[in-house]
Chain A
Amino acid sequence: MTIFSDIGRYLLMIKGMFSKPENGKMYWKEFMHQCAEIGVGSLGIVAIISVFIGAVSTIQTAYQLVSPIIPPSTIAQIVRDTVILEFAPTLVCIVLAGVAGSRIASELGNMRVSEQIDALEIMGINTKGYLVMPKIAAALLMIPLLVIIAMVLGIWGGRLAGAMANILSGNVYDRGLLENFVPYNVIFALIKSYVFAFIISSVPAFYGYFVQGGALEIGRASTKAVVVSCIAILFADYVLSALLL
C-alpha cells in the first residue's frame, strides 16, 4: 500500500508545482542557482568518469578483438556507439543520481526538518513550485548538456588511451569514428538523458520534500532517493531501448 500512496503523493507533488509564480524574478534566480549547482557542480566528476570510461572501453575492446581480419578502426566504432548509446547517458546519470540526487534530497530534507519549508508556506509561497520546479527544470536543461559533454570526453578518452597504449593511431581512430555513424543514436541518447534527468531531480525531491524526523531521516531519505533513482533509471533505460531501438 505504501508504494501506491508514495506514487500518489509523488504525482500530487508534480501537479502542485504548476501554479503562477509569486515573483518570476525570484523563480528565475532559483532556477539559475540550480543550473549552477546541478550543471557546473557535477561537471568535474562527469568529465573524469567519461574520460576513463572511454579509455577503458578502447583497451578492453582491443583486448577482445584479436582477429586480424577485423580492422583496428572497428575499435573506434564500438567505443563510439557504446559511449553514445549507453555509457554517456546511463552511467553518467547513475553517477549524477548519487551526486545531484543526494544533494537535492538532503537540501530539501534539511529545509523540511528545520521548518524552512513551513516558513515559506506561511509567507504564502508555493513551496513545490519555488523549491522543486526549478530543480527539475535545471536538471532537464543541464543533464542533457552534461551527457553531450560526456559523449565527447568519452570518445576523446578512448582516442587518448588507444594512442598511448599503441592500440591504434589517432588517425585510424578518427576514421573509425566516421564509419557507419548513425545520427539517431545521439537523438536516442538525448531522449534517454531527458527521461533520466526528470528521474534524477524529481525522485530525490520527493523523498527530501516529504521527509519526517531529524538528521537520521534526512540521511535515510537521501540514500533511498539515490537507490530508487538508480533502479528507475535502469528500468527506464530498458523500456526506452526496447521501444526506441
Chain B
Amino acid sequence: MIEVKNIQKRFGNRTVIQDVSTVMKAGQCNLIIGSSGSGKTVLMKCMVGLFEPDEGEVLYGGQNFTTMDSQAKTEIRKEIGMLFQGSALFDSLTVEQNVMFPLDMFTSWPVKKKQDRVNEVLNRVNLVEANRKYPAELSGGMKKRVALARAIVLNPKYLFCDEPNSGLDPQTSLVIDKLIKEITIEYNITTVVNTHDMNSVMEIGDYILYMYQGNKEWEGTNREIIFSKNQRLNDFIFASDFLKDAKDMRMLEETGRIPNHRNMDLLIDKDAPPVIPPSKDV
C-alpha cells in the first residue's frame, strides 16, 4: 500500500502539485488521470523519489519514504518497478541483457538461474524469440513489454507505469493494459498507472485519481466515474460523442437508465427509477 499525504511541489514560484493526499492499495490498478500539465507525472515522480516534494510525505507500507536516508531509500527502490513512457530501455543492451540488468546488479544468482528468470518474465509478457534483439529492432509494443518484463523481474511490491499506452495502437494498448492488470493481481502488486487513455480507465482502473491543475479533483472507482457529476471530470473523460455514448451504454447496463440530455429515447426506460450510486466527488 502506498499512502500519499499532503504532497506539494513547486518549481520556482509555480505550484505544480497542491496538497494531494490519497491511498493506493495493493492488488489493484490505481490510475492517475488528468489533462496535460495537470501534475500527474510530477505526482508520480514525487512518489518514486525522482522529485523531492516541498511538503508532505509518501509512505510505502507505512514507512516514510520522503524522510528516509539514501540507503533506506535504495532498499525501498529495490521493491519498485517502473515502466516509463518511452520504455527507457538501455540502447546498447539486448532484450535479454536489459531484463537481466536488475538481476545482475542486485542478485548473486548463478547465470543459469538468472537466464531462467529472464525467460520466465519474457514469456509472461508474451515476448518470445526476441532475446538477442536490440531495442532499436523492436516495435513500440514490444519495447513496452520488455520494459514491463524488466520492471517485474525482481518481483516488485510496487509497479509504476507512466503512460504505458502512449504511441501504441488500440489493440496493443489493450494487450499492455491486460498484462498490467494480470500481473497486478497475480503478484499482488500495488500498481500505479499514469494515463490519458480512457479505455485503460474503464478496463483496468480499480481506483482512479483525477488531477486538475495540480489538485486532486476527484477519486473513486471506474464504476463510480460513470455516475460522477463532477463537470470537469466528465468534460475530461467523456470528451467526444463516442465516449459519451460509451458512458451511456455503460450506465444503461448498470442502472437501466441513461441521462435525459442524450438523444437516445429509444433506449430510455422512462418508468425505471433513477439509480445513482454514491460518488466520491472531492
Listed in ascending order, the chain A residues whose CB lies under 8 Å from chain B are 19, 22-23, 25-26, 110, 114-116, 118-119, 121-125
Contact = CB atoms under 8 A, between A and B. Distances in A.
A23 B88 contact: no
B140 to A, nearest CB: 14
A164 to B, nearest CB: 43
Contact of A122 (B48, B104, B106): B48
- The 6 A-B pairs at the shortest CB distance, nearest first, are namely A124-B77, A119-B88, A115-B88, A124-B74, A122-B82, A115-B84
A123 B101 CA distance: 10
A118 B41 CA distance: 13
A49 to B, nearest CB: 27
B102 interface: yes
Nearest to B80: A122
Given A124-B73, A124-B77, A119 B84 contact: yes
B85 A23 contact: no
Contacts, number: 55
B93 to A, nearest CB: 10
A123 B50 contact: no
A116 B106 CA distance: 18
Contacts of A110: 91
Nearest to B81: A122
A124 B85 CA distance: 19
B187 interface: no
Nearest to A22: B105
Contacts of A26: 104-105
6 contacts: A22-B74, A22-B106, A26-B104, A118-B84, A123-B102, A123-B106
A125 B85 contact: no
A126 to B, nearest CB: 8
Contacts of A124: 73-78, 80, 106
Interface of B: 48-50, 70, 73-78, 80-82, 84-86, 88-91, 101-102, 104-106, 160
Nearest to A27: B105
B84 A123 contact: no
A22 B75 CA distance: 11
Nearest to A116: B88
A25 B50 CA distance: 26
Contacts of B102: 123
B154 to A, nearest CB: 8
B105 A123 contact: yes
Nearest to A119: B88
Contacts of B82: 118-119, 122
Contacts of B50: 118, 121-122
Contacts of A114: 86, 88, 91
Contacts of A121: 49-50, 77
A23 B50 CA distance: 22
A118 B90 CA distance: 12
Best-surrounded residue of A19, A115, A121 (most CB of chain B within 10 A): A115
Contacts of A122: 48-50, 77, 80-82, 160
Given A123-B77, A124-B74, A118 B88 contact: yes
A119 B161 CA distance: 12
A110 B50 CA distance: 18
A231 B34 CA distance: 47
A22 B78 CA distance: 11
Given A26-B105, A115-B85, A118-B84, A123 B78 contact: yes
Contacts of A118: 50, 82, 84, 88
